[in-house]
């Protein structure tokens, strides 16, 4: 394939903020990809730049370099994009557009879903100390039914069914985490997953352990701040004593960085990791992070971001890399639905 030119432009994301979309013009056709942004970002994520700067970098710096070097594989391309002066949004937009030009092998097995039902903190009602309350399902129908049942329950109780950043319910009438978990347990029979996003006002570790003990919670993401590595280790040990199969998931702690995943895996801080390509800025870095996680026996979870676009290449990445789980938010809001509908195209409901 020959890259003839690369164009970029500003588009609005799901929060009404500007992000970028990039178009790769090649002798095989045109390939367009847009990039998301996080709302509760890890401190060590690679920096993005302003949309204007990203467009300049893509059109004036990256495009000439790629035209000259003519990369033929994702690895070759991403090696050329590995330049710290470029924003992660600029490099990922180009990397993802190239990814879309590549053939996708047919999936062997589809991932399970951590489907969002309630959200709080920076994504919704700030009084809640846990950011995401999810059900774990293996098909969309199951998750959709759970979401519907909870919606009916909220309506019956006169609570608002307005939604947060990722389509999860976020009624201001519920300010207590356990109350949310109880509704999920009463309305569904599904295993539950939480994202604490502990860098801002988390519940104490003992409260979280108590939640693991008392409810059907089988997965907790970022239970502790990214600075408290020793506490992560203790928490993981304690949680395993309560529930052998518990998943302790690193997101802000590892920021899709292969070295951080390897170190944390070796030290026994967690047994699952979130993969968000824009935390590092290329498809190859995300792929490598997945490979390292698998090498350490860690579960892999490919995730969207708080501020999304209607693009759905993240689904293709999850399929191609055969990951264990995906996180695409609630079955609500166009930018989340775009991912579920893409996933449906790979399967029967």
Enumerate the active-site residues: 166, 276
- Residue 38 binds ligand PGA, judged by CB under 6 A: yes
78, 119, 251, 316: which one contacts Zn ion (CB under 5 A)?
251
Closest separation in Å from C-beta 121 to Zn ion: 10
CB under 6 A: which stretch of 37-45, 64-72, 236-244, 285-293 binds ligand PGA?
Answer: 37-45
Residue 213, phi then psi, degrees to nearest 5: -65, -40
Closest separation in Å from C-beta 116 to Zn ion: 11
Nearer to ligand PGA, 94 or 198 (CB): 198
Nearer to Zn ion, 58 or 336 (CB): 336
Residue keyed to tokens 């892999």: 300
Closest separation in Å from C-beta 165 to ligand PGA: 7
3-state secondary structure the chain: CCEEEEEEEEEECCCCCEEEEEEEEECCEEEEEECCECCCCCCCCCCCCCHHHHHHHHHHHHHHHHHHHCCCCHHHHHHHHCCCCCCHHHHHHHHHHHHHHCCCCCCCCCCEEEEEEEEEHHHCECCCCCCEEEEEECCHHHHHHHHHHHHHHHHHCCCCCCECCCCCECCCCCCCHHHHHHHHHHHCCCCEEEECCCCCCCCCHHHHHHHHHHCCEEEEECCCCCCCHHHHHHHHHHHHHHCCCCEEEECCCCCCCHHHHHHHHHHCCCCEEEECHHHCCCHHHHHHHHHHHHHCCCEEEEECCCECCCCCHHHHHHHHCCCCEEECCCCCCHHHHHHHHHHHCCCCC
Q: Which does 306 bind (CB under 5 to 8 A by kind): Zn ion, ligand PGA, none?
A: ligand PGA
The answer to whether 74 touches 316, Cβ cutoff 8 Å, is no
Nearer to ligand PGA, 63 or 256 (CB): 256
46, 129, 305, 339: which one contacts ligand PGA (CB under 6 A)?
305
Closest separation in Å from C-beta 132 to Zn ion: 7
Residue nearest to ligand PGA (CB): 306
- Residue 195 binds ligand PGA, judged by CB under 6 A: yes
- Residue 306 binds ligand PGA, judged by CB under 6 A: yes
How far, in Å, CA of 227 to CA of 208, rounded? Answer: 18
Closest separation in Å from C-beta 259 to Zn ion: 19
Q: How many CB atoms lie within 10 A of CB 308?
A: 27
How far, in Å, CA of 233 to CA of 263, rounded? Answer: 12
CB under 5 A: which stretch of 50-58, 145-153, 190-198, 238-246 binds Zn ion?
Answer: 190-198
Nearer to ligand PGA, 63 or 271 (CB): 271
Nearer to ligand PGA, 6 or 194 (CB): 194
Nearer to Zn ion, 195 or 288 (CB): 195
Q: Which does 199 bind (CB under 5 to 8 A by kind): ligand PGA, Zn ion, none?
A: none
199, 226, 251, 316: which one contacts ligand PGA (CB under 6 A)?
251
24, 55, 197, 249: which one contacts ligand PGA (CB under 6 A)?
197
- Residue 195 binds Zn ion, judged by CB under 5 A: yes
Q: How many CB atoms lie within 10 A of CB 260?
A: 20
Nearer to Zn ion, 45 or 187 (CB): 45
Closest separation in Å from C-beta 266 to ligand PGA: 23
- Residue 40 binds ligand PGA, judged by CB under 6 A: yes
Contacting residues toward ligand PGA, per CB under 6 A: 38-41, 195, 197, 251, 303, 305-306
């Amino acid at each position: 394939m020959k890259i003839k030119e690369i164009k970029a432009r500003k588009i609005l994301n799901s929060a009404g903020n500007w992000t970028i979309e990039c178009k790769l013009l090649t002798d095989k056709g045109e390939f367009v990809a847009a990039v998301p942004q996080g709302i509760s970002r890890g401190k060590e994520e690679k920096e993005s730049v302003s949309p204007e700067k990203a467009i300049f970098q893509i059109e004036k710096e990256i495009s000439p370099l790629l035209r000259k070097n003519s990369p033929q594989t994702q690895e070759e391309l991403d090696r050329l994009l590995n330049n710290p002066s470029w924003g992660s949004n600029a490099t990922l937009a180009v990397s993802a557009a190239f990814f879309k030009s590549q053939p996708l092998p047919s999936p062997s097995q589809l991932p399970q879903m951590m489907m969002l039902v309630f959200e709080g903190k920076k994504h919704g009602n700030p009084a809640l100390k846990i950011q995401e309350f999810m059900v774990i399902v293996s098909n969309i129908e199951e998750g959709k039914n759970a979401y519907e049942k909870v919606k009916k329950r909220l309506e019956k109780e006169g609570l608002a069914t307005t939604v947060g950043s990722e389509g999860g319910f976020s009624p201001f009438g519920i300010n207590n985490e356990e109350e949310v978990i109880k509704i999920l347990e009463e309305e569904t029979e599904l295993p539950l997953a939480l994202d604490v996003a502990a860098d801002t006002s988390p519940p104490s570790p003992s409260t979280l352990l108590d939640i693991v003990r008392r409810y059907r919670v089988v997965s907790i993401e970022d239970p502790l701040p990214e600075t408290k590595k020793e506490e992560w280790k203790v928490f993981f040990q304690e949680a395993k004593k309560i529930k052998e199969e518990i998943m302790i998931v690193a997101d802000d702690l590892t920021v899709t960085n292969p070295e951080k995943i390897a170190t944390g895996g070796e030290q026994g801080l967690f047994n699952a990791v979130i993969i968000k390509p824009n935390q590092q800025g290329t498809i190859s870095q995300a792929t490598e992070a997945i490979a390292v996680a698998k090498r350490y026996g860690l579960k892999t979870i490919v995730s969207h971001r708080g501020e999304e676009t209607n693009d759905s290449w993240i689904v293709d990445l999850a399929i191609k890399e055969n990951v264990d789980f995906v996180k695409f938010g609630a079955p609500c809001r166009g930018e989340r639905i775009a991912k579920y509908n893409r996933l449906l195209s790979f399967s029967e409901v």
